[in-house]
Every structure is written in structure tokens, then in C-alpha cells.
Amino acid sequence: MPPRGRERDVVSDDAVDVELVEDGRPGSERRRVPVRGVVALLLVLVLSVGVALVVAKVHEAQRARELAARGFATSLTRPMAQAWSASGATPLLADQQQLVVATADGLESRDLVSGERVWALDLQGTCLPVVGGEAWVGIGVAAAGDDPARLWCRTGDGRDVSVDPGGGVVVGERPVTGTAVLATVLDGDVVRLQVTDDGRIDASRWSLDGVLRWEATTPDPVAATVMPIVMLESGGAYARVTGTRTLLLDLSTGQEVDPLVAAAGGTTERRTVSRSVPIPGGGDVEQRDGPGLLPQVVAVGPDGVEWWQSSGALVRPDRDDGSDPEVVLVQSGGVLLGVDVRTGERLWSYVEAVQPAVLVGGVVVAQGSGEILALRVADGGVLWRHEVGHELTGAALTSDGHVVVGDDGADLVAWGLLDGAERWRDQLPDGALWDGVLPDGALLVGAADSVTVLR
């Protein structure tokens, strides 16, 4: 049977041709797929995935920068390799960019990454780093956000000198003319007591930027016949000098005061904030110390109103990524406490004596008696512990979740932050005597006559 159809005239030059065209059945119309719409949808999906990946990378890079600024290593998934080494160098001070060392020629600064010399200063003497207003015996580590660090040096030609490590510049100096019976740093100021030739006590206090706070001399020769004994009292508020007579110097003014003042514990106005932790949204948790008084932890809101207070000392790990700002660590009576920053409620306690070293990712790594352990900050639960025969001097944490410590002075070992499982083990450089973490998360290893930086 011929196909059903309809005729359609096709005009040509010679005649009229007839073409049969098959009828379309009702409802059989072909639906055209919107190709442009599909392409647009695919482009949107691709762009969305790309944007998500870019955002994730940006967040990851931002997190890495934040961790680096807080003293965490960039990556510890593989054993650390030597970045550079310097011989004949004794490390004094490290910050985010440099390591300042003492050499036979004076002081010099080395770039933390390359080890290249940044500056050198011909200064012969003995120097101590001053970080956070305190003099350090050993290496001073200045973290981001700290007050400017200084080097306090006693030169061979009889001067107290303050050096700004930012450029190796002398920013203050004072002559030393007598026999020192006290030389220390209190709240960022140099306090010196010395005996003059006629047996009097010369006392002075000056800032490490060279500003004289006060100077005073006793009216009588209290050290004429005996070398006086000097003791700091009430947290450095007073100096008790015992010679031919006993006198008490108020180190904030240089004035002699009644010894009964210190015996009675001083005045409450002398209580000062020694350390603090910010509260999310405003305010601080502060440790307050006072003459003759036990330390006190106080939470202060953004309006200055005290929320709560407790006896004890505020614990600040060497490095803290700020991952759990709602819990503050307090040590009281040898017990480590996790305290709610807003209410002062004791969330948990750990009764064994430990010293927190690092807090990252909601985990605090602490040094115990012959062991290293990890605790959850939220509830104080023990994640893992390892027996060690040394102090936790070389711990380094990173966002990829590793803990690296020196093991018995010969090896470096990496453990997983959450499970404590060993990830890798490697040897320390030959002759290693000590190790410590630099502000950018690198490991500084010291030998008898050299220092080496591992990354």
C-alpha cells in the first residue's frame, strides 16, 4: 500500500514534480533538547566547583599563614631536612624573620629561611634576650604580637647597652661605675644596684629604650664594711638590702620605705596583670599577681565588669592556634583545669602534674612526669600518651596533624596528633645537644660549636 501522505508541489524548470511527505501523527512531535541550557548548567556546575576549590585553597593558605604566625611548622608529613647551619654561633633571640646569634666578632642576625647574614654589630660583652618584659637565660623567642624584643648587654668597657634586634641598632646605654649587687630586668626595665667607692648604694631604673625612670643614692655608706646582700621581695616590687643596716627600696620609685610595708604584703594597688587571654566577642581572662599574694585568675568583660574570679595561674602554652577560645586552662594546686571563659565553670580537671606545651586543633600536648600526652581541650579526655626520658623541648605542631619531638637526644619522631601513632623517625644532626622550636615552626638544633635549622 502506498504510504499515506500529502502532496507538496516542488517547482522546477520543466515540470511540476510531486513529493510525498509522511504525515506526522498527533502527539508524535519531536521535543528539541535545549542544548544551550544544558551547556549553561554545566558551566555553572564547573564554576561552582572551581569557586569552592579556590575558596578551600584560600582558607587553607590563610590557615597556614595563621599557624606560621603562631609558631607552627608548615608541614611535617615527611622527615625534616637541614635548611642551613652556622658554626661558632651561640643563639640568643629568634623572631618570625631572624635568628640573632653571638659570635667571636660580636652580634649578628641570620635570616631564618636562608641562613644569610642580615646585620652584624661589633659589640663585645655578655647579652641576654628580653622578651615580654623579662630577661631569658637561653634563647628568647618573640612571637607575633609580642612587645618589641631587646638584647640587654653588659659590655667589656663597662656599659649597659640595649640593642634593637630589628636592625642591630643600639637604642639605649648607661655607664656602670660601681660593683654590682643587683642587675636584672623587671617589666622591661633594667634595675641595677651597685656599691660606690665610699660604700653607698647607687640605684637606678631605665627602660630598654634608654629612658631613665629614676636614680637614687643612699645617704649613708651601708656597704662601707660589708658587701651587702640584696633580695627581691613581693614579686620584684621591693629590694631588701642588708649591710651595716637593712633598708627596703621601692623599685617603682627608688624611694626607701618602711620594711613593714613589704612584710604586710604591700598594697592591693600593686596587683598587676602578668598575662591574659582574649574572650571571643570582647574582654579578657587575666592572671593578676600581687605582693605577698597568690596568683588570681579574673575574667573581665568588654565593659570592664568582672564576670568571675578564681585562685590559680593562667596557663598559656608555648604555641596556641586559638582553636578552642571558649575554654581557658588554669593550674591550681598542681591540678590542670579546663574553665569556661564566660562563666568560670570548671569543665574538667586533670590531677597529674603536667605542663601544657602546645594547643592546636582542640588538642593540648603536655609534658608529664616521664611522659608526653595529648588531652582534648573540650572535656579533658586523654587521647594518647608516650613515655619519654626527657623534657618536651622540641615539640612542633602543624595543621596536617603531627607532633614532632626529640627522642632520647638522638632521633626525631613524628606522632599523629589525634591517635599518637608513629608516622616517621629520623636522626638528629651529629653532636646534637639540645633542640627548640623557632617562631616559624622550624627546629633549631644546637651542638657544642654550631647551630642547625631543620624544616
Query: 32-62: b or e for each residue (b if 16 or more CB lie within 10 Å)?
Result: eeeeeeeeeeeeeeeeeeeeeeeeeeeeeee
**102 in any annotated domain:** yes
**418 in any annotated domain:** no
**364 in any annotated domain:** no
**276 in any annotated domain:** no
**192 in any annotated domain:** yes
The percent of residues above 70 in pLDDT, for the chain, comes to: 81
Q: Quick one: pLDDT at residue 33?
A: 53
**255 in any annotated domain:** yes
Residue written as cell 596583670?
Answer: 273
Number of domains the chain is built from: 1
The whole-model pTM stands at 0.72
Tell me, what CATH number does 151's domain have?
2.40.10.480
Residue 194 to residue 325: CA distance in whole angstroms: 46
Residue 330 to residue 285: CA distance in whole angstroms: 11
**380 in any annotated domain:** no
pLDDT digits over 371-414, tens only?
889 999 999 999 999 887 665 555 556 666 777 776 655 678 88
**401 in any annotated domain:** no
Q: Average per-residue pLDDT in the chain?
A: 81
pLDDT digits over 209-268, tens only?
889 999 999 999 998 888 899 998 877 888 999 999 989 999 999 999 887 765 554 444
Residue 392 to residue 406: CA distance in whole angstroms: 8
What DSSP state is assigned to residue 102?
Answer: E
Domain that holds residue 185: 87-268
Residue 91 to residue 381: CA distance in whole angstroms: 38
Radius of gyration (C-alpha) of the chain in whole angstroms: 34
- 389 Cβ contact partners less than 8 Å away, ≥ 6 residues apart: 370, 408
| Whether pLDDT at 145 is above 70 | no
